[in-house]
């Protein structure tokens, strides 16, 4: 079975400061990895995903994430945040198995950017 | 513009009533999904459909039913058997639903409240 842990339920940060949102996963098989963002009362939007190749993945809105297989982590980073980045961020994994469609989500991290 | 629409935005259910949430996509995607989101939790899969006239139960299917009569449409019915239906419901789609690593695209969601 797979599981995703986002240890920080909320991360407050000042505008223009760097931020890191942590994601750790547990899986008996290798996985694909995703980060999604959800603005208040909206659906989810893909920020970035890791399928294979370079472990550093760049996404939209200046976000990037690094896959670390030995630590089973996929932390999300941004060097300088804006007020508009205030949202909930979800990490998700998709097991690399035949016909596997399933996305397993973490509980989310609320990023609160203060002026 | 291609995308996923969900209606209504807010829905109120009375005790013992069945209600149906609409989900339509014009992305020409084969696979469609329904998720439930509760505060402080990640998304949980209710039902999944990979092709017209076929669907599978997800992790929390009890008290819900779906149909997939058209490629574009995947309505979700919340039945009276669902004792705790208050939640935010998200519909998603992906190109095939058979290959790992596919991006799932989300609709704006429907918030269901119990009167």
Asked if the C-beta of B102 comes within 8 angstroms of chain A's C-beta atoms, the answer is yes
Residues of chain B with Cβ-Cβ distance to A36 below 8 Å are: 106
Residues of chain A with Cβ-Cβ distance to B90 below 8 Å are: 43-44
- Cα B27 to Cα B24: distance, rounded to the nearest angstrom: 9
How many Cβ atoms are within 10 Å of A45's Cβ, its own excluded?
Answer: 14
Mean pLDDT of A79-83: 97
- Cα B81 to Cα A106: distance, rounded to the nearest angstrom: 27
Residues B101, A107: C-beta atoms closer than 8 Å: no
Closest-CA distance of chain B to residue A24, Å: 14
A49 or A101, which is more confident?
Answer: A49
| Mutant choice from A43, A59, A100 vs B, greatest count of B C-beta within 10 A | A43
Closest-CA distance of chain A to residue B56, Å: 11
- pLDDT tens per residue across span A36-54: 999 988 999 999 999 988 9
pLDDT at A72: 95
Residue A100's pLDDT band, with cuts at 50, 70 and 90, is low
Find the CB nearest B48 among A32, A101, A107: A101
Q: Quick one: A90 exposed, middle or buried, by C-beta within 10 A (0-12, 13-18, 19+)?
A: buried
Q: Give the lowest-confidence range in A32-41, B11-20, B49-58, B95-104.
A: B95-104
pLDDT at A102: 80
Is residue A74 over pLDDT 80?
yes
Average pLDDT over chain B, rounded to an integer: 92
- pLDDT tens per residue across span B24-62: 999 999 999 999 999 888 899 999 999 999 999 999 999
Closest-CA distance of chain A to residue B96, Å: 9
- Cα B83 to Cα B92: distance, rounded to the nearest angstrom: 24
Residues of chain B with Cβ-Cβ distance to A102 below 8 Å are: 45
Is residue B109 over pLDDT 70?
yes
Closest-CA distance of chain A to residue B53, Å: 18
Residues B42, A94: C-beta atoms closer than 8 Å: no
Reading the block at residue B2, the tokens are 């291609």
Residues of chain B with Cβ-Cβ distance to A41 below 8 Å are: 108-109, 111
Asked if the C-beta of B43 comes within 8 angstroms of chain A's C-beta atoms, the answer is yes
Percent of chain B exceeding pLDDT 70 equals: 97
* 3-state SS assignment for residue B26: coil
Asked whether the CA dihedral B37, B97, A49, A26 is positive or negative, the reply is: positive
B100 or A65, which is more confident?
Answer: A65
- Helix, strand, coil percentages (3-state) for chain B, rounded to 5, are 0, 50, 50
């Amino acid at each position: 079975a797979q599981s995703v842990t986002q240890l920080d339920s909320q991360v407050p940060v000042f505008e223009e400061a760097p931020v890191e949102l942590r994601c750790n996963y547990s899986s008996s098989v290798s996985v694909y990895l995703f980060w999604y963002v959800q603005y208040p009362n909206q659906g989810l939007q893909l920020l970035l995903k890791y399928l294979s190749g370079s472990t550093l993945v760049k996404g939209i809105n200046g976000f990037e994430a690094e896959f670390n297989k030995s630590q089973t982590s996929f932390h999300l980073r941004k060097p300088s945040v804006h007020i508009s980045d205030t949202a909930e961020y979800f990490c998700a994994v998709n097991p690399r198995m035949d016909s596997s469609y399933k996305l397993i989500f973490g509980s989310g991290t609320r990023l609160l950017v203060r002026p | 513009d291609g995308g996923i629409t969900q209606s209504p935005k807010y829905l109120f259910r009375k005790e013992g009533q069945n209600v149906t949430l609409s989900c339509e996509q014009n992305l020409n995607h084969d696979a469609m999904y329904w998720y439930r989101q509760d505060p402080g939790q990640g998304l949980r899969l209710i039902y999944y459909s990979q092709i017209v006239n076929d669907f599978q139960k997800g992790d929390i299917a009890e008290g819900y039913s779906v149909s997939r009569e058209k490629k574009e449409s995947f309505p979700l019915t919340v039945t009276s058997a669902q004792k705790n239906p208050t939640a935010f419901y998200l519909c998603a789609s992906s190109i095939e639903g058979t290959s790992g690593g596919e991006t799932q695209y989300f609709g704006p969601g429907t918030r269901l409240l119990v009167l």
